[in-house]
Structure 1
Amino acid sequence: MTSRPLDIVAIGDAIVDVIATCDDSFLQAHGLPKGGMQLLTADEAEALYAAMGPAREISGGSAANSMAGAAALGLNVAFVGQVADDQLGAIFAHDMLALGIRFDTPPLEAPPPTGRCLILVTPDGQRTMNTCPAASHELTTAALDPALIRSASVTFLEGYLWGPELPRAAMLEAARIAEAAGRTVAFTLSESLCIGDRRDGVLGMIDAGLVDVLFGNEHEMRHLTGCGTIDECIGALSPKVGTLVITRGADGALAVDRGERAEVTAAPAAQVVDTTGAGDLFAAGFLA
């Protein structure tokens, strides 16, 4: 273990992204909501993968993407996430270590296999995600190293991992350990929080004072609060979290820190190639 203090430890989905290009007609033919995210069973993932064109594989997952960005910016970071003892699991572990991210979570014996996200990118650069979480949703509190969490300035939690009971319990325990040690807890929302009763659980965590920094886009913030406007969302959330950060796509981003509001415009891009991981890398830059 390095003697250098950790800047961030993240807990999230350990997923290998499988990225291919397609046109809008492919999305329509397979009933895939453009720009959205849906969960797949292992069989559904196999069927979609068979229909996709040539693809490239790269380790991903929302919080893991953020740690890749933070490491590239020079931060000392670690990641906690569950893979299986299979080919994709070996790819994920290799990629984390190669990027300078500490990754010590022992693999599980498959099945279930390592999680994958089948990402389809249309000519306009929009990404449509189809995720089979598999082993990533088997993460338990036993995978946590309390000393590692206490050593990090920030514990960064991923909304995509919030739904399943086992990893949700692990993230809550990590948040409690971090708060007890006087560390910062950051939480990034996800589209999956709009499913079922996940919204109430996140609001409960916020009400309990376990979230110091909250990231989300406009759509996610509205779903979380039930508010109609961004200003209403800010009014509902900013008294409960120290720092509220809202991304707004082409309209830039805004942050409210203990009542002080700042807004920035989006940097112009001559051509949008691929929006995969855009919010994840924004969070990395903000935390850095």
Structure 2
Amino acid sequence: MDIIETPARSPADWPGLDGIAERRFRLLAIGDVRIEVRATLPDLRFTEVTADRLAYAPARAMVAGTAVNLARAAAGYFKRAGVLARVGDDDYTPVIRRELRRLGLRDLLRVERGAANGVTVMLRDGVAPGRAHGVRLLVAEEDTPNRRLSERDVNAAAGEIRRADVLFLDGYALLSPVSRGALLRAAEIARRHGTLVAFDLVPHDIDARLPAPEVIPLLRLADVVFSEAPTLARLLGRPATMTCSAEVRELLPVMDETVPGRPLWLLRYGASSLEQALAYQRDGLRLEYATGYDDSVERAGFGDRLAAGELFWWLAARSGR
């Protein structure tokens, strides 16, 4: 599971954040699929809203969710990418399926008859002194079909998991006992058949939603873990400032002690937990690099672009190509 010992360049340099001409490898993402409404309120701050308010601002509706967002970015690197998720059975379902086709993603959706699709509303307010992108308010339905993705659903897709080079999972599925079981089952199938397991440690306040013992079993099955360094620190009961390399390095022995094996940790840190990354594997630091994120970059979707590029870089390094 090693990455190359002395990489000549970082994933932000190659393959970069905008895809690659020679697409390779196969990826399967398991996670949320939702309809998301996004709006930015450039002339309004949430602290100013003390009564009902009408605001005209740029807004759009799109197919989103953790699995789609990652797979959308991965389509620029991987020759084949697919999405396994449980969705509802309403007027949004054909919209979701059309978007997967448009993106060239393999549709492994499991439709729950009579259920509505989940809807998320993401609002970002105006920029204030000391803030580059405003504050984000994310309102998400809790009881959605995604929470009921089952081990049976995963077993039905076992062949796709076996054929993938990497299986991408995220922590939102851990919040429901049913989908948590499905996630663990998927990781077990992948490990048994040589498919690499990548895990995104989200939501960023997962430590407030789940005790560490309910998260660590998935970390133990992962070959690569993405996390904002403060998120992982809080989960492991450590101080969560993590804005500089020295602070992140202090977390490394705690990770080694808590999680057996040799997963590759891809830790984000910095003023907004996105500016810098540290790639680490037990027995030694591998690489630190700037991600390319700064105040001029659109934050929405940046993490998925970065993760997709890092996965491709990692797989290319392991294959020697």
Residue 17 of structure 1: aligned partner: 36
Q: Residue 132 in 1 paired to residue 144 in 2? A: no
Residue deviations 1:141-193, cap 9 Å, x none?
Answer: 22221111111111111112211011111110000000111221111011252
Residue 43 of structure 1: aligned partner: none
Q: Matches of 1:197 and 1:98 in 2, distance apart? A: 36
Helix, strand or coil at the partner of 2:172:
helix
Q: Return the offset for 1:121.
A: 2.1
Residue 110 of structure 1: aligned partner: 114
Give the superposed CA RMSD. 2.8
Q: 2:249 aligns with which of 210, 213, 231?
A: 231
1:230 corresponds to which letter in structure 2?
Answer: V
Q: Return the offset for 1:22.
A: 2.0
Aligned residues, how many? 265
Q: Matches of 2:55 and 2:170 in 1, distance apart? A: 29
Q: How does 1:58-137 map to 2 (within 5 A)?
A: 58-111=62-115, 113-124=116-127, 125-126=133-134, 127-133=136-142, 134-137=144-147
Q: Residue 264 in 1 paired to residue 289 in 2? A: yes
1:162–1:198 contact (8 Å) kept in structure 2 = no
1:109 corresponds to which letter in structure 2?
Answer: R
Q: 1:203 aligns with which of 203, 212, 216?
A: 216
Q: Matches of 1:149 and 1:264 in 2, distance apart? A: 31
Q: Return the offset for 1:194.
A: 2.2
180-189 or 57-66, which moves further after superposition? 57-66
Q: Matches of 1:210 and 1:255 in 2, distance apart? A: 18
Q: How does 1:39-54 map to 2 (within 5 A)?
A: none
Helix, strand or coil at the partner of 1:73:
coil
Closer, same or farther in 2 for the Cα pair 1:181/1:266, shift >3 Å?
A: closer
Moved over 4 A (4+): 23-26, 50-54
Q: Matches of 1:277 and 1:223 in 2, distance apart? A: 24
Q: 1:255 aligns with which of 254, 279, 296?
A: 279
Q: Matches of 1:192 and 1:81 in 2, distance apart? A: 23
Q: Matches of 1:15 and 1:179 in 2, distance apart? A: 28
Residue 266 of structure 2: aligned partner: 245
Closer, same or farther in 2 for the Cα pair 1:237/1:270, shift >3 Å?
A: closer
Q: Return the offset for 1:27.
A: 3.0
1:194–1:223 contact (8 Å) kept in structure 2 = yes
Q: Return the offset for 1:253.
A: 1.0
1:63–1:280 contact (8 Å) kept in structure 2 = no
1:247–1:279 contact (8 Å) kept in structure 2 = no
Larger proportion of helix: 1
Residue 44 of structure 1: aligned partner: none
Helix, strand or coil at the partner of 1:255:
strand
Q: Matches of 2:305 and 2:285 in 1, distance apart? A: 23
Task: Give the TM-score taking structure 1 as reference length.
Answer: 0.81
Task: Give the TM-score taking structure 2 as reference length.
Answer: 0.74
Closer, same or farther in 2 for the Cα pair 1:121/1:196, shift >3 Å?
A: closer
Helix, strand or coil at the partner of 2:300:
coil
Residue 151 of structure 1: aligned partner: 163
Larger radius of gyration: 2
Closer, same or farther in 2 for the Cα pair 1:122/1:93, shift >3 Å?
A: same
Q: Return the offset for 1:219.
A: 2.0
Closer, same or farther in 2 for the Cα pair 1:148/1:192, shift >3 Å?
A: farther
2:169–2:183 contact (8 Å) kept in structure 1 = yes
